[in-house]
């Protein structure tokens, strides 16, 4: 659930990008919540990766994630760590691991397809869907780690570059972040958009020249009057 103050903040945060020559297009990503949930492989492979890391660090007393968990060395509110420590020792031990990887490929193709269809340089969305939680919320386990309504896992699970820029504050004075996610290997265009978002005083030495953003191929843009949930910037060179 997104509050009115967050929606207003996001709209204001996009103004510098629009002033720099961007066009905003609203799009909808099919089955987004399903893909975000199913393509998560934290429990499938994190234990093996962390154990492999510990094996290369003889100076660390703990030799495995399971040992850290069994010895009670992790904070009790780290439910994600508990799930990792008690999960599969190897990715292949998860019977759905390879299906999750296949779903990730479909997820990325769908996202790239949406961006190509609208000739977009980046997708834009708030880092989280709610205002920052309080310490009391966290310590009371109001959400599990995987239930917390964050959007920052989208880019990481898609293996697509992203960056967060300051987006202002809620009515209660809490900071809000805005995430820009670009096509694979399009970091230059993404950074150009992020630079447009930052105030000039925060960018010493940056020239006024703009980077021409390469567009993904695709059919003609949808009519400008078509609006669907989710603001998306489409950068144009001035």
Q: Could you report the per-residue pLDDT of 67-109, keeping only the tens digit for each?
A: 999 999 999 889 999 999 999 999 999 999 999 999 999 999 9
- What is the share, in percent, of the chain residues with pLDDT greater than 70? 77
> What average pLDDT does range 110-128 have in this prediction?
93
Residue 92 confidence (pLDDT): 94
pLDDT of residue 56 exceeding 90: yes
Residue 32 confidence (pLDDT): 92
Dist CA 131 CA 110 (whole Å): 29
pLDDT band at 10 (very low <50, low <70, confident <90, very high): low
The ranges assigned to domains in the chain are 4-32+107-234, 42-93
206 to each of 189, 195, 203, 211, how far by Cα in Å? 15, 9, 6, 12
pLDDT of residue 211 exceeding 80: no
> Which residues lie closer than 8 Å to 92 by C-beta, 6 or more apart?
none
Count CB-CB contacts under 10 A for residue 223.
Answer: 7
pLDDT of residue 196 exceeding 80: no
Q: Of 2-16, 28-42, 135-149, where does mean pLDDT reach its minimum?
A: 2-16
> Which residues lie closer than 8 Å to 181 by C-beta, 6 or more apart?
122, 123, 124, 125, 154, 155, 158, 160, 161, 162, 190
Residue 151 confidence (pLDDT): 92
With beta carbons less than 8 A apart as the criterion, state whether 154 and 182 touch: no
Dist CA 146 CA 160 (whole Å): 20
pLDDT band at 7 (very low <50, low <70, confident <90, very high): very low
Q: Of 29-38, 49-58, 197-206, where does mean pLDDT reach its minimum?
A: 197-206
């Amino acid at each position: 659930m997104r509050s009115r103050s967050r929606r207003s903040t996001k709209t204001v945060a996009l103004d510098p990008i629009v002033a720099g020559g961007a066009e905003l297009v609203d799009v909808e990503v099919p089955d987004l919540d399903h893909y975000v949930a199913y393509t998560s492989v934290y429990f499938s492979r994190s234990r093996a990766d962390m154990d492999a890391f510990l094996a290369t660090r003889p100076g660390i007393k703990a030799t495995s994630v399971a040992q850290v968990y069994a010895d009670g060395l992790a904070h009790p509110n780290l439910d994600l760590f508990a799930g990792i420590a008690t999960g599969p020792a190897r990715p292949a031990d998860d019977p759905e691991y390879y299906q999750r990887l296949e779903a990730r490929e479909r997820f990325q193709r769908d996202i790239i397809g949406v961006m190509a269809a609208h000739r977009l340089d980046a997708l834009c969305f708030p880092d989280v869907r709610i205002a920052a939680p309080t310490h009391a919320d966290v310590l009371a386990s109001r959400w599990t780690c995987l239930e917390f309504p964050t959007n920052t896992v989208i880019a990481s699970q898609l293996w697509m570059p992203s960056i967060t820029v300051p987006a202002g504050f809620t009515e209660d004075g809490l900071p809000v972040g805005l995430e820009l996610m670009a096509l694979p290997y399009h970091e230059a265009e993404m950074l150009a958009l992020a630079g447009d978002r930052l105030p000039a005083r925060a960018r010493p030495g940056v020239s006024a020249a703009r980077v021409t953003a390469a567009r993904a191929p695709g059919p003609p843009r949808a009519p400008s009057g078509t609006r669907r949930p989710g603001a998306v910037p489409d950068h144009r060179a001035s």
